[in-house]
Chains A and B, each alone.
Chain A
Amino acid sequence: MPDVPKIVPHRLRNASVQDALAATHPEADALTAFIEQALSPPEREGVLQHLALCADCREAVVLALPALDAAVLPAAVSPAEEDAEVALARSSGAELQGREDRKQEREENKSRFGWPSFAWTPLRWATLAAGIAVAVLVVRPALERMNEKPNASINSAQNHASAPAGPPAADSQIASDVPRENPVAEGASKTLEQGPVNGLASGKDKATVNSSRSLMKPAVPPSDPEMHLAGNLARVLPPGRTAKIDWDAWERPPVFGWLARHVAEDELRRVFNLGIGFCAVVEQPEPGETVIGSIR
């Protein structure tokens, strides 16, 4: 919750001391009508003025609230009710202002659960912008890479219809840029996941598996828990072909140094893939990419 300057509670308390003692407390009748939203706007304003200053009456109001199971929470106000409310408030400028404020708050409530009005805080906008930036920085290069390499396994998804079926060459490679930890959009993962199948089916001589910025969730649990990464690869390989992973081919993220003290090596490989997000089977690794295995 937001912090107000510490002087504010102090001055609020001080105002309570100075003013509330001299004020006449609202009758139980008025407080009841206040709680049940049955007061006229001027009367409600009067009660609120007192409540803002009187701790005892504020406590009485809270104590007098019905038990939560019996309470009727404010429901969404229908447009007709809102119109009626605004019409009533026209009788007084101050009342109108108060009603409009409450109407605005209801609009804010709507925006919290839906899209009608974009009453978003700057933090939410920043989060959205960061999400878009991640998508642009991560997904777009991956898609571009697919487009730039017509003979690569990933790209072959686009021309699989004309590609002849056939097993991948024994010297296909599995390459990785850098071990990544960040997830990527699921759609991109699926595209990349489908690519090697088609690419390998096209009869290319070489295929390389590239890692990218993804912690791809396997749609099907690997049958071989010892070889999770390879197990996932096995799903995209035709029968007779296997992926050979070189587990020392990339630098492990530092967290695995700590994790290794608590988790067995095979568990690190099976559960965490040792930091590899996802990999792609490509014909030739590009400069700077890390080859993490090969197809045999």
Chain B
Amino acid sequence: MSLRPQSGDTAIAVELYTRSGAAAYGISAEQFASILEAIQRKYAPNASTDERADFCAALRLEELALARACAAGDERAWEDFISRYRQKLHGMALHITRDGAHAAELADSLFADLYGVGARNGARNSKLVFYTGRGSLEGWLRTVMAQEFVNRYRKQKRAVSLEEQTEEGAQFVAKEPEPACTFDQRLETATDQALAELSSEDRYTLASYYLDGRTLAEIARALGLHESSVSRRLDRLSTGLRKRILAGLREQGMSHAQATEALEADVRDFTLDLRSRLTQDSGSTTFPRRKVPAPDGRGSND
């Protein structure tokens, strides 16, 4: 099935177009069908006709139409967008940054990106063209803002300025020498095997809790679970990992006592690989700025 009215099931295409309210923003049925087709090709390339119809019906059509109309520069769409999201953008920024000055800067910066101030060949270069309607527009804006924050502010925080160091009286403190890494290879192997056997969701839970220090509530909300479920999962993972690692160590020839001793050894007793700790996060820009494709008519496609 194609959603182009002239080439397929026009009834569905018309229904989707009507639901989207795209006509109010000057997007034609043909342009809207092109947008939907592009999204389909990207996320459901091998779907059957019915599945594609369901996929399109599940999209946030009204918000998709608004975003694409804004990207295309429709004034009425922008008025709607500003009335709906301008204030929310500042609230989101404050929620993310916890700092008024940074929040204003982040929100204004994102708003500029959304508006597409960096015009190219006379056309706007709006980030909204990347919104595909699979989640809410508000959620998408929040995610884009969070990525921008991670790119800009968190990395700036890590780089402590000389001024700040001077204020703390630490400018002349020599760095601690970076020790070499001397872990028991068998323990590493057993641990890696045990971790590899876990599901992605379990590894995500472990990393969020033990590496990032996230709360149970945060992890639960990210996974759509109840907080108590995450707590029980961590209990289960802790017990299971310990058993699995012990078994792995014994498979490598350790006695039970040796395996237990190796497992209980504090990693602080080993010399830490600080290099890997420092480089755990991505390089200069985690979420690289994407080039906005040249608009093709009013409805830009992905």
Contacts and interface: CB of A to CB of B under 8 A. Distances in A.
Interface string A145-165: 000000000000000000000
Contacts of B238: 2-4
B218 interface: yes
Contact of B224 (A15, A37, A52): A37
Given A8-B206, A59-B150, 10 more contacts: A5-B263, A10-B267, A28-B144, A29-B134, A52-B204, A56-B286, A57-B286, A68-B217, A74-B224, A105-B225
Interface residues of A, number: 65
A9 B142 contact: no
Contacts of A20: 280, 282
B214 interface: yes
A49 B200 CA distance: 5
A29 B142 CA distance: 11
Interface of A: 1-17, 20-21, 25, 27-33, 35-39, 43, 45, 48-49, 51-68, 71, 73-74, 98, 101-102, 105-106, 108-109, 112
Contacts of A109: 226, 228-229
Q: What size tier do the contact residues of chain B reach?
A: 35 or more
Contact of B281 (A55, A61, A68): A55
A21 B130 contact: no
A67 B143 contact: no
B203 interface: yes
Nearest to B198: A52
Given A35-B143, A45-B200, A4 B210 contact: yes
Contact of A62 (B214, B264, B281): B214
B149 interface: yes
Contacts of A36: 135-136, 139
A48 B273 CA distance: 26
Nearest to B246: A5
A29 B43 CA distance: 11
Given A37-B224, A55-B281, A60 B195 contact: no
30 contacts: A4-B206, A4-B237, A4-B241, A5-B242, A6-B266, A7-B188, A10-B272, A12-B206, A12-B207, A13-B277, A14-B276, A27-B130, A29-B134, A29-B135, A31-B143, A32-B134, A32-B136, A36-B139, A48-B199, A48-B204, A55-B280, A59-B154, A60-B143, A62-B212, A63-B142, A64-B139, A64-B143, A64-B146, A65-B222, A66-B142
